Structure 1
Amino acid sequence: MTMDILVERADGVLTIAFNRPERKNAITAAMYQTMADALVEAHGDTSIRAILIRGSAGIFSAGNDLEDFMKKPPGGEDAPVFQFLRALSSAEKPVVASVAGPAVGIGTTLLLHCDLVYAANTASFSLPFTQLGLCPEAASSLLLQRIAGYQAAAEKLLLGEAFDAAEAHRMGFVNRVLPAAEVDAFAAAQAAKLAALPASSLRVTKSLMKRASQHELQTQMSEEAVHFGKMLIAPEAREAFKAFFEKRKPDFRQFD
């Protein structure tokens, strides 16, 4: 377990909070493992009836910690990031997210697996995979176009440019936009409402909504992971990461 992730249990709600503001809540392998373990434990804990994911200090997550990611690239299905994504995408209990400030890369794609997403008016979202010489992950190539439509998803996934909470709401993957000072409390209140409802009703309702697409989702996630792994060690990604650490724009013109 790492203190970069805070895990709390109270009144039927499991809260998972990013707690690494000095690094903009960039996610390491150890953080993924802590979140995966918490979600797996919550699955078998009948006292947990809802799950809340939130950031800290006005930041949701800057996505993968690139330095940690390059030192410990995900190697196979048992890598912590894939354990986390499987646990989140297959969670039987309702998952609520509270987003304030930047949500980058997997900071955005993990929201596609949440049931309710509330964003602060200060929130911003981006999916900069092509800018890093990579491809989508977390089944975002499937889920985003299903939620927002093909053209909207293509614009976000092909260009990788940031967009604000109002646009995320129009696209349909944010339920409501709130003032930054109110979003965490509102999301927590929604999670508390869910925790007070019959657990079996919530479980069956969520299962009925997701059952038809669950196999397709897991297949897409696995296929993305194969491509992502190959692209992670390709010259384009090496140039993108080198440019990132050197604080310059990458030059992709040398590649076909």
Structure 2
Amino acid sequence: MSEYLNIVTRDRICQILLNRPDKKNALTLSMYEGLTQALKDADANPDVRVILLGSTGDSFCSGNDIGDFIGAINSPNAVQAPLQFLQTISSLIKPVVAVVPGVAVGIGVTMLLHCDLVIASDQANFQLPFARLGLVPEGGASLIVPQLVGHRRAFELLVMGESFSAVTAADLGIINRTVEQNRLQEQSLLEAGKLASLAPDAVRQSKAMLRSVSQSQMQEVLLAEVEQFAARLKSEEAMEALQAFMQKREPDFSRF
């Protein structure tokens, strides 16, 4: 289990918290592996009725740790670890409540698409900057986001990749609601507690029914996206974008 995860089970709620606040909870490959195992364990634990996915610090998740990602770029695990995490979170039996206190970028947003209830601070900020990094959408975003908002708005979010507020995220259906920052943890635990108090089999069966039609398609999309994402990682465009990020400069795509 990754050292950057805090896991506590209390009152039938398993809280899995990303705990790398100094890096805005950017995900390393070991964190992906730890998250995958933590989610599987919580889903299999008979004492857990609700999984609460959150973070420490004032950020939710700033996406992939670029340095870690570049270091593993030629390793199969560079895409396999994120894929296994996405396959797991998208197929959990138990309900998942996500709590977003601040920044959510890239997979920090796409993982929310697989949660059942998402509550964000009114100070939270979201971004899906895939094309800006020379990459393509992942996490099932190419399927779910157009279903939520239509092609044109999805194109704006996934290709133009500009940041947007929690209010906009709620309007788009990416999150359920916003809460004042100082009430976020209290309200999230309250909602998770409400879920935990419901008839557990009825909750799990209802979730399964809501996803039954799209589940097989989702798994196919996750695989297809990862194949294209892996190919893009080795492209000159992505190399320029990732190097520019590390060097804290704007990428120059003029030669492509």
Paired residue for 2:206? 205
Contact 2:66 2:246 in 1 (8 A): no
Per the alignment, in what secondary structure is the counterpart of residue 174 of structure 1? coil
Aligned partners of 1:89 and 1:23: how far apart in 2? 25
Deviation, structure 1 residue 76: 6.0
Paired residue for 1:215? 216
Using the size of structure 1 for normalisation, the TM-score is 0.96
* Counterpart amino acid of residue 121 in structure 1: D
* Counterpart amino acid of residue 100 in structure 1: P
1:24 aligns with 2:24: yes
Aligned partners of 1:118 and 1:99: how far apart in 2? 6
Contact 1:132 1:241 in 2 (8 A): yes
Q: 1:7 to 1:211 in 2, by over 3 A?
A: same
Paired residue for 1:13? 13
Contact 1:12 1:49 in 2 (8 A): yes
Q: 1:77 to 1:211 in 2, by over 3 A?
A: farther
1:52-131 pair list within 5 angstroms: 52-73=52-73, 75=76, 79-131=80-132
Structure 1 unaligned blocks of 5 or more: none
1:39 aligns with 2:39: yes
Cα RMSD (Å) of the superposition? 1.3
* Counterpart amino acid of residue 204 in structure 2: R
Q: 1:147 to 1:158 in 2, by over 3 A?
A: same
Deviations 1:128-179 (A, max 9, x none): 0000000000110101111222222111001011000010011012111111
Q: Percent identity?
A: 39
Aligned partners of 2:47 and 2:62: how far apart in 1? 32
Deviations 1:7-50 (A, max 9, x none): 11111111111111111110101111111001111222111111
Aligned partners of 1:184 and 1:99: how far apart in 2? 9
Paired residue for 1:140? 141
* Counterpart amino acid of residue 20 in structure 1: R
Structure 2 unaligned blocks of 5 or more: none
Contact 1:40 1:87 in 2 (8 A): yes
Per the alignment, in what secondary structure is the counterpart of residue 79 of structure 1? helix
Aligned partners of 2:17 and 2:157: how far apart in 1? 26
Aligned partners of 1:164 and 1:220: how far apart in 2? 27
Aligned partners of 1:3 and 1:76: how far apart in 2? 19
Consecutive aligned runs of 4 or more in structure 1 exceeding 4 Å deviation = none
Deviation, structure 1 residue 111: 0.3
Deviation, structure 1 residue 77: 9.7
Paired residue for 1:240? 241
Contact 1:27 1:63 in 2 (8 A): yes
Deviation, structure 1 residue 72: 2.0
Contact 2:110 2:139 in 1 (8 A): yes
* Counterpart amino acid of residue 61 in structure 1: C
Deviations 1:55-79 (A, max 9, x none): 2221101100011111123626982
Aligned partners of 2:85 and 2:11: how far apart in 1? 24
Deviation, structure 1 residue 112: 0.3
- Count of aligned pairs: 255
Using the size of structure 2 for normalisation, the TM-score is 0.96
Deviates more, 1:120-129 or 1:34-43: 34-43
* Counterpart amino acid of residue 13 in structure 2: V
Contact 2:170 2:177 in 1 (8 A): yes
Deviation, structure 1 residue 230: 0.4
Per the alignment, in what secondary structure is the counterpart of residue 17 of structure 2? strand
Deviations 1:194-214 (A, max 9, x none): 111111001110000000000
Contact 2:83 2:222 in 1 (8 A): no
* Counterpart amino acid of residue 228 in structure 2: H
